Amino acid sequence: MTYAVHHLVTLALAWAAGAVMARSRWSVRAPRTGVLIWQAVALTAIMSLVGVALAVGLSPYRLGVVPALARFAADGWAGSLPAGMSAGHLLAVGAGVGLAGWLLAAFGLTCRALAGLRRRQRTLLRLVARPDPGAHEALVVEHPAVAAYCVPGRQATIVLSTGTLGLLHADELAAVLAHERAHVKERHDLALLPFTVLERAFPWIPAVRLMRRQVAALVEMRADDRAARAHGRTSLSSALRRFRASDRLPSPAGTLGGAEGDIDARLDRLTTPTRTSLPLRTLLLSTALTVASTPLSLFLLPM
Amino acid sequence: MNSLGDLERRIMDVLWSTGSWLTVRDVLNQMSDRDLAYTTVMTVMNRLVRKDFLLRERTEDGRTWRYRPAAGREAYVAELMLSALSETGDRIAALGHFARSVTAEEAEALREALPQDRTRERP
């Protein structure tokens, strides 16, 4: 039973850490650390959720989760479960395995959907986009709407619309391209992936959606930082202001919208830059990693 | 961009600008590149058929194929832009955005360009 209690404690810790993260302002100042901590929080929450169910269900074995699960599978195959194994225990094991399977399925489906969308983008780009004459290693799509984005992957592509080219001055465009290059180089698509998976697995939990949005915003800020370092805060923030000034696509019902608020937050931190001290970031990060590694060790350690 | 992809784009450009059924020979004649082999162009065009970007049918004499685009260029641009401008679910996760903005009229035009060409009857 101690395993289950441990998992419950780490689950509560992850929840508390998430609640603090959702409200705190410092992550805006150190977005990369913020993303890492969110990843630790999510990993911990999942591991301990699965862990609680399995630890309760497998408690008759008095073993760590993984060895107990192996023994349970062998016993189940042989048709001789231990006497202490009640229907309640079996139900808990089923819940744990089911949850893990559900998450794996969500992971697979998300990867497939994203790969499909990106493949279609690449195919269409190959047919209708042209290399940017300014040799900005970007592809240009002829359309008045304003869009600047990248298709991530091993052969990532940065895409600009002619609307964007018409909107921005040369220095602003350079900053925007640096922003996209940062997404590509640091594989921000992979940083976001676990949260997209979670949102697909648990679309009815508001906290999951909140987490995905926060990480998405932090990733943008991280890319902003790199762009500002290379091309100056002024160029980047004036590019952002131009984007905000153009009319926006009204968000369809049922979506979060609120991208305008995100742009405001990004502008705020560009105009009044502050940085969280390195010791503080180190402390936060090591705390997060400790919390995340606890359920992992609980899975593997025998009693 | 690889040369085969480049060739795909140039072939589509020829077909989009003519707007009628063309044979491989017609397309080849309209391309400025004299070094292109007939079979190369044919291979790429048949690949475009498999990918549903081109439609093909037998010519009247029944001996050669003729081709035309399955949809207009604007339809594909619209699809590209709509998924780039979308603020929902997987689409937003699939692409790393700097920012997006579009006027209401542009959004309307994009949506109109999409279904018309998608549902257009195939001859």
A107 within domain boundaries: no
Q: What is the mean pLDDT of chain A?
A: 83
How confident is residue B1, by pLDDT bands cut at 50, 70 and 90? Answer: very low
Closest by alpha carbon to B96, among A280, A150, A250, A242? A150
Q: Which residues contact A81 (CB under 8 A, 6 or more apart)?
A: A72, A75
Task: Choose from A100-114, B32-46, B69-83, B101-115 the range with maximum mean pLDDT.
Answer: A100-114
Residue at token pair 């902003």? A224
pLDDT at B123 over 80: no
Question: Do B109 and B60 share a domain, yes or no?
Answer: no
Question: Do A5 and A23 share a domain, yes or no?
Answer: yes
- Give me the DSSP letters along B80-112: HHHHHH--SHHHHHHSEEEEEE--HHHHHHHHH
Task: Kindly list the residues from chain B whose CB atom is less than 8 angstroms away from the CB atom of residue A240.
Answer: 99
pLDDT at A128 over 50: yes
| pLDDT digit string, tens, across residues A21-32 | 877 777 788 888
Question: Do A160 and A224 share a domain, yes or no?
Answer: yes
Question: Do A266 and A290 share a domain, yes or no?
Answer: no
Question: Do B12 and B62 share a domain, yes or no?
Answer: yes
Q: Which residues contact A279 (CB under 8 A, 6 or more apart)?
A: none
What is the interface size between A and B, counted as CB pairs within 8 Å? 147
Question: Do B11 and B58 share a domain, yes or no?
Answer: yes
Question: Do A28 and A66 share a domain, yes or no?
Answer: yes
* Residue B74: its H or E element: helix B73-85
Q: Give the closest of B53, B73, B84 to A159, CB-based.
A: B84
Task: Kindly list the residues from chain B whose CB atom is less than 8 angstroms away from the CB atom of residue A149.
Answer: 84, 95-98, 100
Question: Do B24 and B63 share a domain, yes or no?
Answer: yes
Question: Do A261 and A296 share a domain, yes or no?
Answer: no
Pairing of strands A146-151, A130-131: unpaired
- Measured over the CA atoms of residue A277, residue A280, residue A283 and residue A285, the dihedral's sign is negative
Question: Do B54 and B81 share a domain, yes or no?
Answer: no
Residue at token pair 């911990």? A44
Kindly report the nearest CA distance between residue B40 and chain A, in angstroms.
Answer: 17
Question: Do B65 and B7 share a domain, yes or no?
Answer: yes
A101 within domain boundaries: no
Lowest mean pLDDT among B2-6, B27-31, B39-43: B2-6
Binary contact (A126, B9; C-beta < 8 A): yes
Binary contact (B93, A196; C-beta < 8 A): yes
Task: Provide the percentage of residues in chain B whose pLDDT is more than 70.
Answer: 74
Tokens of A163: 């609307």
Strand partners, B56: B67
Tokens of B119: 């549902």
Q: Which residues contact A184 (CB under 8 A, 6 or more apart)?
A: A150, A152, A156, A158, B96
User: What pLDDT does B121 receive?
Assistant: 40
Closest by alpha carbon to B28, among B53, B6, B11? B11
Which of B48, B73, B101 would best serve as a mutation to test chain A binding (most A beta carbons within 10 A)?
B101
Which of these three, B69, B87, B111, is where a domain ends?
B69
Question: Do A242 and A184 share a domain, yes or no?
Answer: yes
Question: Do B39 and B61 share a domain, yes or no?
Answer: yes
A121 within domain boundaries: no
pLDDT at A139 over 80: yes
pLDDT at B48 over 90: yes
Q: Give the closest of A113, A124, A243 to B76, CB-based.
A: A124
User: What pLDDT does A250 receive?
Assistant: 46
Q: Give the closest of B51, B96, B97 to A123, CB-based.
A: B51
Angle between helix A170-185 and A206-231 (nearest 10): 130
Distance CA B121, CA B59 (A): 19
pLDDT at A215 over 70: yes
Nearest CA in chain B to A222: B98
CATH code of B34's domain: 1.10.10.10
pLDDT at A93 over 80: yes
Q: Which residues contact A224 (CB under 8 A, 6 or more apart)?
A: A179, A236, A266, A269, A270
Which of these three, B69, B90, B105, is where a domain ends?
B69
- The number of domains in chain A is 2
Distance CA B26, CA B43 (A): 15
Residue at token pair 């509560």? A12
The radius of gyration computed from the CA coordinates of chain A, to the nearest angstrom, equals 23
Question: Do B77 and B44 share a domain, yes or no?
Answer: no
A208 within domain boundaries: yes
Question: Do A292 and A215 share a domain, yes or no?
Answer: no
pLDDT at B36 over 80: yes
Tokens of A107: 């992971």
Strand partners, B99: A148
Distance CA A291, CA A294 (A): 5
pLDDT at A259 over 60: no
A100 within domain boundaries: no
Distance CA A88, CA A53 (A): 11
Question: Do A144 and A263 share a domain, yes or no?
Answer: yes
Which of A172, A249, A256 would best serve as a mutation to test chain B binding (most B beta carbons within 10 A)?
A249
Question: Do B65 and B78 share a domain, yes or no?
Answer: no
Binary contact (B102, A146; C-beta < 8 A): yes
Lowest mean pLDDT among A103-112, A271-280, B86-95: B86-95
Task: Kindly list the residues from chain B whose CB atom is less than 8 angstroms away from the CB atom of residue A256.
Answer: 87
User: What pLDDT does A255 receive?
Assistant: 32
- Measured over the CA atoms of residue A218, residue A219, residue A223 and residue A224, the dihedral's sign is negative
Task: Kindly list the residues from chain B whose CB atom is less than 8 angstroms away from the CB atom of residue A263.
Answer: 99
Question: Do A244 and A280 share a domain, yes or no?
Answer: no
Kindly report the nearest CA distance between residue A30 and chain B, in angstroms.
Answer: 19
CB-CB contact of A243 with A263 (8 Å):
yes
Kindly report the nearest CA distance between residue B61 and chain A, in angstroms.
Answer: 31
Burial of residue B19, with CB atoms counted within 10 A of its CB: 0-12 exposed, 13-18 middle, 19 or more buried: exposed
Note down the domain range covering A211: 130-272
Question: Do B63 and B47 share a domain, yes or no?
Answer: yes
Lowest mean pLDDT among A81-90, A149-158, B21-30, B90-99: B90-99
- The number of domains in chain B is 2
Q: What is the mean pLDDT of residues A187-193?
A: 89
A82 within domain boundaries: no
Task: Kindly list the residues from chain B whose CB atom is less than 8 angstroms away from the CB atom of residue A120.
Answer: 79, 83
End-to-end CA distance of chain B: 33
Q: What is the mean pLDDT of chain B?
A: 80
CB-CB contact of A166 with A229 (8 Å):
no
Which of B80, B82, B98 would best serve as a mutation to test chain A binding (most A beta carbons within 10 A)?
B98
Note down the domain range covering B81: 73-119
Q: What is the mean pLDDT of residues A270-289?
A: 76
Lowest mean pLDDT among A43-57, A104-118, A179-193, B96-110: B96-110
Question: Do A245 and A146 share a domain, yes or no?
Answer: yes
Angle between helix A206-231 and A31-57 (nearest 10): 150
A302 within domain boundaries: yes
| pLDDT digit string, tens, across residues B74-109 | 889 988 888 877 766 666 666 766 666 666 677 777
Question: Do B96 and B42 share a domain, yes or no?
Answer: no
Question: Do A146 and A189 share a domain, yes or no?
Answer: yes
Which of these three, B31, B49, B69, is where a domain ends?
B69
A153 within domain boundaries: yes
Q: How many CB atoms lie within 10 A of CB A172?
A: 22
User: What pLDDT does A172 receive?
Assistant: 92
